[in-house]
Chain A
Amino acid sequence: MPPSPRDALPRYSETVEHVVTKGAKARTPGLWEVALGFGRLGLLGFGGVGPHARHVLVEERRWLDDMEYADVLGLGQPLPGANIGNVAAILGDRWAGPLGAVVAVAALNFPPLVIAVVLAAALTRLHGAPLFVAVETAVVAGAAGLVIGQGLRIAATFGPHAYRFAPAALTAALIAVWGFPLPLVLLSMLGLGFVVERRAHRGSDGPR
Chain B
Amino acid sequence: MEALIALALRFGLLSLVAIGGANALIPQIHAETVTRLHWLDDRTFAELVAVAQSAPGPNVLLIPLIGWHVAGWPGALVALSAFLMPSSTLAIVVARVFARHPDSARLGALRGALRPVTAGLLIASGIVLVRTVAAASGPHAALVPEIAIAAGVAILSTRTTVNPLWWLLAAGAVGALIAR
Interface residues of A, Cβ cutoff 8 Å to B: 5-6, 9-12, 42-49, 72, 74-86, 88-90, 93-94, 98, 101, 105, 108-109, 111-113, 115-117, 119-120, 123, 130-131, 133-158, 164-176, 179, 181-183, 186, 189-190, 193-194, 196-198, 206-208
Is B37's beta carbon under 8 Å from chain A?
Answer: no
Is B4's beta carbon under 8 Å from chain A?
Answer: no
Nearest neighbor of A156 in chain B, beta-carbon distance: B158
Contact B92 A89 (CB under 8 A): yes
Is B9's beta carbon under 8 Å from chain A?
Answer: no
Contact A81 B15 (CB under 8 A): yes
Contact A138 B145 (CB under 8 A): yes
The binding surface of chain A is classed by DSSP as: helix
26 contacts between A and B (CB under 8 A): A5-B102, A46-B55, A80-B17, A81-B15, A85-B84, A88-B88, A109-B60, A113-B76, A113-B80, A115-B55, A116-B57, A133-B137, A137-B175, A140-B133, A141-B129, A141-B149, A142-B149, A142-B171, A146-B153, A152-B155, A152-B158, A153-B158, A156-B158, A158-B115, A172-B124, A207-B109
Q: Within the assembled complex, what's the spacing in Å between the Cα atoms of A131 and B124?
A: 28
Interface residues of B, Cβ cutoff 8 Å to A: 15-19, 21-23, 25-28, 31, 46-61, 64-65, 68-69, 73, 76, 80, 83-84, 86-92, 94-96, 98-99, 102, 104-105, 107-133, 136-137, 145-147, 149-155, 157-158, 163-165, 167-168, 170-172, 174-176, 178-179
Q: Within the assembled complex, what's the spacing in Å between the Cα atoms of A14 and B93?
A: 24
Contact B88 A141 (CB under 8 A): no
> In the assembled complex, which residues on chain A have CB atoms less than 8 Å from the CB atom of B117?
167-168, 171, 186, 189-190, 193
Contact B58 A109 (CB under 8 A): yes
Tell whether A182 pairs with B27 under 8 Å between CB atoms, given A85-B60, A120-B47: yes
> In the assembled complex, which residues on chain A have CB atoms less than 8 Å from the CB atom of B122?
147-148, 150-151, 154
Nearest neighbor of A42 in chain B, beta-carbon distance: B57
Contact B58 A84 (CB under 8 A): yes
Q: Give the shortest distance, in Å, between A18 (CB) and chain B (any CB).
A: 16
Contact A93 B92 (CB under 8 A): yes
Nearest neighbor of A142 in chain B, beta-carbon distance: B171
Q: Give the shortest distance, in Å, between A117 (CB) and chain B (any CB).
A: 5
Contact B57 A137 (CB under 8 A): no
Contact B114 A80 (CB under 8 A): no
Contact A134 B164 (CB under 8 A): no
The binding surface of chain B is classed by DSSP as: helix
Q: Within the assembled complex, what's the spacing in Å between the Cα atoms of A174 and B104?
A: 31
Q: Within the assembled complex, what's the spacing in Å between the Cα atoms of A141 and B65?
A: 19
Partner of B25, one of A47, A156, A168, A182: A182
Contact A139 B50 (CB under 8 A): yes
Q: Give the shortest distance, in Å, between A121 (CB) and chain B (any CB).
A: 9
Q: Give the shortest distance, in Å, between A125 (CB) and chain B (any CB).
A: 12
Q: Within the assembled complex, what's the spacing in Å between the Cα atoms of A102 and B132?
A: 34
Contact A138 B109 (CB under 8 A): no
Q: Give the shortest distance, in Å, between A167 (CB) and chain B (any CB).
A: 4
Contact B133 A80 (CB under 8 A): no
Contact B88 A89 (CB under 8 A): yes
Nearest neighbor of B52 in chain A, beta-carbon distance: A116
Contact B57 A109 (CB under 8 A): yes
Contact A135 B112 (CB under 8 A): no
Contact A143 B104 (CB under 8 A): no
Nearest neighbor of A166 in chain B, beta-carbon distance: B116
| Besides A82-B59, A139-B172, 6 other A-B contacts (C-beta < 8 A) | A9-B102, A101-B88, A136-B47, A144-B153, A172-B124, A175-B28
